[in-house]
Structure 1
Amino acid sequence: MFSEKDKQQIQERGSKLETVQIQIENFKKGFPYLPIQDAASVGNGIIRLSPEDLKKRGERYDAKIAAGTKALKFVPASGAASRMFKALFQALEDFQSQPHEDVIAANRDAAQYITELDRFAFAEELKKAVADDGEQLSATNKLDYLLTEKGLNYGAKPKGLLKFHSYEDGARTPFEEHLVEGAKYAADKDRKASLHFTVSPEHQPGFEALLAEIKDKYEELLGVEFDVTFSQQKPSTDTIAVDLENEPFRNADGSLLFRPGGHGALIENLNDLDADIIFIKNIDNVVPDRLKQPTIDFKKGLAGVLLKHQEKLFYYQHELNEKHYTALSSNFLAEAANFLENTLNTKPAKNHYYTEREELYQYLKEKYNRPLRVCGMVKNEGEPGGGPFWAMNADGTVSLQVVESSQIDPDSIQQQDIVQHATHFNPVDLVCAVKNYKGEKYDLTQFTDPATGFISQKSKDGKELKAQELPGLWNGAMSNWNTLFVEVPIETFNPVKTVNDLLRDQHL
């Protein structure tokens, strides 16, 4: 299947031939659906914090930071913003062949943008670009100068560098909003705020230039020192593409086609970071300063929940790792099993009873020696995306998992009935602990579930192909973590999926 030239190409990418061969097999046999057992809900896998609990957890987190705990904020920011402007691109294309009034009548998203341009944070910059060219602010120019190199070129930029919010001293990008937000909960006792952004190679210079321009301003404004770093998705995590017969897809020059492996590839980037606590949040989920406080309170609250349970988890880790099973009492093992099942939300395989002390000890030792994450979950109000479920793992155990709709069997009435009863969804609001009781970092690549990948159909050069995504960052890539879910308010979830989302009250 692979020539010597192919093998050289694979090696030069930092990939392994065995990994590529496994990917080919995945195309042939497909990925299994993830069997969900129940939807997680408040009291059934999701913790609801009272105002008093939220305050206490936040104070616990603040105390740990004051004692030297190091926090870091991790923001996936690789994606281009082109999907935000799908309707506007269509309108710009249609303007070439149809009367403008017909296009605007048929394309409500474009009509709203054109009519309400002045409400956007980038409006003044766009109008200046049009005026500088001696042009009129026509409907066509409102689109053309936003999307293309004629003006702002937003159609080719990443979301993180678009102007989202207006302030008296100018407009802010999501990148800037993340810095401001991060300063409020990711700064250490010396007021150093650490943030890491994963970016595309072509966009990194833009992020670095903006950082150089605004860093001093925000450090003075917020009383912090920023430590901002960037990384790119590793070429070695790209996956091979195949044709519809599951043979390697080849470019016009005969070389193999590799495609980015999706956000699940970022587990490698996360694995390279060193911090006691890592917050994860998407680049487009930001709000202006006047609305930030609930997010800050709940970020600290989630971290406080993590720290509270981590203390006991570390106690059990220490005992299980430092003592022979014969030195551990039956009561201790029973307590550890109870904490694992009822607090860390991992249930043993059905009808599996650990009658032998050594067998129970080995099971507990394996399950306790894992990273810990706390995931915020929002009440379901019709937003798309994954959700919190009890799911069966490859070893037969049942645990809390973030499950995407594509992972659930669409033809199973029983599985879809569980989905219909789901009460919450995943807003991508995580706090992670990636070290053990000794302060040693885990190798996060060892806690993924390779069977939770995804196959989609694409095309290149007019030819159909199949692409493969790695297990998602917060589902399959973290499948074998110890997991807690905490309810967070809808006010903390304000993503921008289309340009007109910026006209919502949360972004004005």
Structure 2
Amino acid sequence: MDSALKSLGMDPERIRRHQAAIENAYRSSGAPRFAIEDTCRLDNGGIQPLKGFSPAANASNAPRDIVAFVPAAGAASRYSTPLFQLTSCLESADCSLEEIVGHMESLKSEGAAFWPLPASIASLLKAEDLRAALQSLDRHSLLEDLQLPKALMPCVAEGMTFLEMKIREHEAIESLVGQLYVVPPRQSKAFLNAAAAVAHQIPIQVLEQGPDLSTIRFLPSGEPFREADGSLSPVPAGHGALAALFPEVQRIYPTARSIFIRNIDNVMGAKDPALRASRDFLNFHQMILNSIRTIRDSLSQSDWRSAGEAARIILNQIQASPHTAGDQSTWPTCPERRSLCELQIRLFHSKPRGTNLDEELKELYSRPVNTLGQVGNTGKDVGGTPCFVRVGDAVEKLCIEVPHASPEDKMKFLTDATKATHFNPVFVAAEITRSADYYAARNQDFWLLSEKSYRGQKVVYYETVLFELLGNSRLANCAFVDVPRLVFNPHKALKDAIGVRLKRWLP
């Protein structure tokens, strides 16, 4: 199988890890689930309020080495569901003009003239003589517009695309040093051409979501599923696979230390409240990262005094966390080491075991620094919930997805807005790891067993969720912070943007 995987551009060792995890899941009780001990909230220190940080501290730590990292490889199939019948018709070799007219008239009756659509489709919907307009139009070009990646679809009535909106937002934040978009295979040129049409000062680059971010389909037995010709069957391995691209960011932007992750279809605009929320969030991350880097440098020289002082700077500003403080009599009496332990417990919720404290502290502080901005739950939101969970004999902090919670815990914690006060990491700032395999090599538990029907057979494959890897106290020095709901405006369907014009988002 190794040679077949290599011919597909995949790493055999990584795929074998996926296979072993699947086989183990079927031998036991399925993919891992984690018992929720409590949710992370402002009142228990699991989530930090940004307003608790003084302007002076923030001002001195303005970000200067952060790259915007935008997953933009998603297809628009779900977003464009109302256009499915028209698209299917145009894909058919025997699609008649009358059929196309019928589908267009049906869309008109649904109010599609007011949806944000590519210019070619929008003009057809407004044509007085639809049949004549269709006769003079190239069907192949029309089909291409219907099959555009979501990033290149309009998000407002005036026709501005999600990609252009993201570029405008990044320009307004000002202090980013670069932008990197993860795009579908063979779409680099289309994205770069679209980006070039938008005035921008912050450099833009793209990376294609290639086979190195995929896995293969397996049978429930653990054997690889084979296509009719005997070949392996590749499938995307989930957003968690994007972590393998982090070192590429630093190769493209050598001064970068962190990435700022936001989904392409979440629009926040470039008005002052959204920009202030972005800058406050990035300033918080930068302050924490700068202090942790000082701690690392000091510990590498066994300078415990300087390391302890750097820890104390953060401790003086963060909210106390009674949830994991525990018995402080077990903490070290040395003031410097005590501060370093206290910071791990209060902010990152990683409790040193104390077996070899000095080495353990060095190891804990060597982990990447990740900050996740969580928005308030209106009472109907579930998913990406920051929680304290039990993993083995330890309580860890995790941005948990619903499949990793039991039905009982989902009901008790995740669907109760008085407990799940926050959800969805709409902003994520992640320190760039040097190794492309950093998260994958350390991740034995935080994955999803995806079960699907494919070509008439039950198949399974290994998936990871990016924010479960980044918002994970086993794998990173992660902190959850409160960000305002106004920056969370996902566009999951065309109708989410009906009647929305640029003035809502841009000054």
> TM-score, normalised on structure 1?
0.78
Of the three residues 209, 215, 233, the one matched with 1:257 is 233
- Tell me what 1:195 maps to: 179
Give the letter aligned to residue 50 of structure 2.
L
Instruction: Write the distance in 2 (CA, Å) between the matches of 1:463 and 1:61.
Output: 54
Of the three residues 451, 455, 466, the one matched with 2:460 is 466
Query: 1:57 touches 1:303 (CA, 8 Å); kept in 2?
Result: no
Q: Please say which of residues 178-187 and 14-23 is displaced more in the overlay.
A: 14-23
Instruction: Write the distance in 1 (CA, Å) between the matches of 2:478 and 2:230.
Output: 45
Q: Residues 123 and 432 from structure 1, CA distance in 2 versus in 1: closer, same or farther, beyond 3 angstroms?
A: closer
Matched, 1:205 2:189: yes
Q: Residues 442 and 7 from structure 1, CA distance in 2 versus in 1: closer, same or farther, beyond 3 angstroms?
A: closer
- Tell me what 2:424 maps to: 426
Q: Residues 385 and 54 from structure 1, CA distance in 2 versus in 1: closer, same or farther, beyond 3 angstroms?
A: farther
Instruction: Write the distance in 1 (CA, Å) between the matches of 2:106 and 2:60.
Output: 49
Give the letter aligned to residue 276 of structure 1.
R
Matched, 1:15 2:1: no
Residue 414 of structure 1 and its aligned partner are, at CA, apart by 5.0
Query: 2:157 touches 2:501 (CA, 8 Å); kept in 1?
Result: no
Q: Residues 11 and 466 from structure 1, CA distance in 2 versus in 1: closer, same or farther, beyond 3 angstroms?
A: same
Instruction: Write the distance in 1 (CA, Å) between the matches of 2:70 and 2:149.
Output: 13
- Tell me what 2:151 maps to: 160
> 2:179 aligns to what SS in structure 1?
strand
Query: 2:156 touches 2:500 (CA, 8 Å); kept in 1?
Result: no
Query: 2:402 touches 2:410 (CA, 8 Å); kept in 1?
Result: no
Query: 2:47 touches 2:482 (CA, 8 Å); kept in 1?
Result: yes
Gaps of 5+ in 1: 1-5, 105-109, 220-224, 435-440
- Tell me what 2:381 maps to: 383
TM-superposition CA deviations, 1:45-89 (whole Å, max 9, x none): 112233x84855653443xx5xxx322100000000011122442
- Tell me what 1:445 maps to: 437
Query: 1:58 touches 1:300 (CA, 8 Å); kept in 2?
Result: no
Q: Residues 443 and 186 from structure 1, CA distance in 2 versus in 1: closer, same or farther, beyond 3 angstroms?
A: farther
Q: Please say which of residues 382-391 and 318-327 is displaced more in the overlay.
A: 318-327
> What percent of counterpart residues are identical?
23
Residue 135 of structure 1 and its aligned partner are, at CA, apart by 2.5
Residues 361-376 of structure 1 mapped to structure 2, 5 A cutoff: 361-376=358-373
Tell me how large the CA RMSD over aligned residues is: 3.5
Instruction: Write the distance in 2 (CA, Å) between the matches of 1:258 and 1:26.
Output: 17
TM-superposition CA deviations, 1:99-154 (whole Å, max 9, x none): x9xx99xxxxx98974433333437642434688962499xx9xxx9xx8463645
Q: Residues 449 and 270 from structure 1, CA distance in 2 versus in 1: closer, same or farther, beyond 3 angstroms?
A: same
Instruction: Write the distance in 2 (CA, Å) between the matches of 1:345 and 1:41.
Output: 13
- Tell me what 1:39 maps to: 39
Instruction: Write the distance in 2 (CA, Å) between the matches of 1:390 and 1:265.
Output: 24
Q: Residues 127 and 186 from structure 1, CA distance in 2 versus in 1: closer, same or farther, beyond 3 angstroms?
A: closer
Query: 1:377 touches 1:486 (CA, 8 Å); kept in 2?
Result: yes
Give the letter aligned to residue 163 of structure 1.
P
Instruction: Write the distance in 2 (CA, Å) between the matches of 1:506 and 1:346.
Output: 45
- Tell me what 2:399 maps to: 402
Residues 45-444 of structure 1 mapped to structure 2, 5 A cutoff: 45-50=46-51, 53=53, 59-62=59-62, 65=63, 69-89=64-84, 114-122=109-117, 125-129=120-124, 135-136=130-131, 149=140, 151=142, 153-167=144-158, 171-187=159-175, 193-212=177-196, 214-215=197-198, 218-219=199-200, 225-274=201-250, 275-289=256-270, 292-323=271-302, 330-348=334-352, 354=354, 359-381=356-378, 382-393=380-391, 396-410=393-407, 413=408, 416-419=411-414, 420=416, 421-434=419-432, 442-443=434-435
- Tell me what 1:3 maps to: none
Give the letter aligned to residue 79 of structure 2.
M
Gaps of 5+ in 2: 26-30, 90-94, 251-255, 309-332
Matched, 1:455 2:449: yes
Instruction: Write the distance in 1 (CA, Å) between the matches of 2:124 and 2:501.
Output: 27
Matched, 1:495 2:490: yes
Query: 2:58 touches 2:287 (CA, 8 Å); kept in 1?
Result: no
Give the letter aligned to residue 33 of structure 1.
R
Query: 1:450 touches 1:476 (CA, 8 Å); kept in 2?
Result: no
Matched, 1:475 2:459: no
Give the letter aligned to residue 338 of structure 2.
A
Q: Residues 366 and 281 from structure 1, CA distance in 2 versus in 1: closer, same or farther, beyond 3 angstroms?
A: same
Q: Residues 385 and 137 from structure 1, CA distance in 2 versus in 1: closer, same or farther, beyond 3 angstroms?
A: farther
> 1:246 aligns to what SS in structure 2?
coil
Aligned residues: 446
Instruction: Write the distance in 2 (CA, Å) between the matches of 1:201 and 1:226.
Output: 24
Q: Residues 490 and 131 from structure 1, CA distance in 2 versus in 1: closer, same or farther, beyond 3 angstroms?
A: closer
> 1:284 aligns to what SS in structure 2?
coil
